[in-house]
Amino acid sequence: MNSSPRLLLPILLVSSVVALGLAPSAKADVIYAFDATSYVNWSFEVPTIITTDTIITNFLTFNIVPGSVLDTAVCLAGGAPYVELLNPQTSFVTTFSPSCSLTANFFTPITQPGSYEFLGEFGPVTLTISQTGVSEPSSLLLLAGGLTGLFGLRRKRIE
């Protein structure tokens, strides 16, 4: 019985090191939400903040405001809309068809999560960049290890 606790400690240490080594690193996704109140709003999710020219075709949401200038046959006939980030530090182009697009030029570099605003030709435009929360794997492993240790102590007292 006396050798059991001496053997249990090395087993717990080795299993903890192996579990932490194999645990995936926690990374949060980034959500871009664009709101041109009078015309269009969209949002999409990407793994990191965009730093190069990029075209986005897969959206979480994409809505054209009914009755707006963009709610016309010319803009709606172009097929699937897309957002083009040209020099993503400052400019977003939302394209609905070859002859219908909306450009938003922000005057502040867009390099980190936050809210960016400017007053466009037809009203206020807001871009919000936020990170989604992700649990940290090592914290969960630490909790599991602690609970396992408490269970082991309880079991030892019962025997």
73 domain-assigned: yes
Count of the separate structural domains present in the chain: 1
Tens of pLDDT, residues 74-132 = 787 767 888 888 766 677 888 887 778 888 888 778 888 899 888 877 778 898 999 88
**pLDDT of 3 higher than 60:** no
Look up the domain containing 94 and give its range: 30-131
In the chain, the largest separation of any two C-alpha atoms, in whole Å, equals 83
Tens of pLDDT, residues 36-49 = 888 889 999 998 88
11 domain-assigned: no
The SS3 of residue 91 is: strand
Residue 152, C-beta contacts closer than 8 angstroms, at least 6 positions apart:
8
99 domain-assigned: yes
pLDDT value for 85? 82
pLDDT value for 16? 64
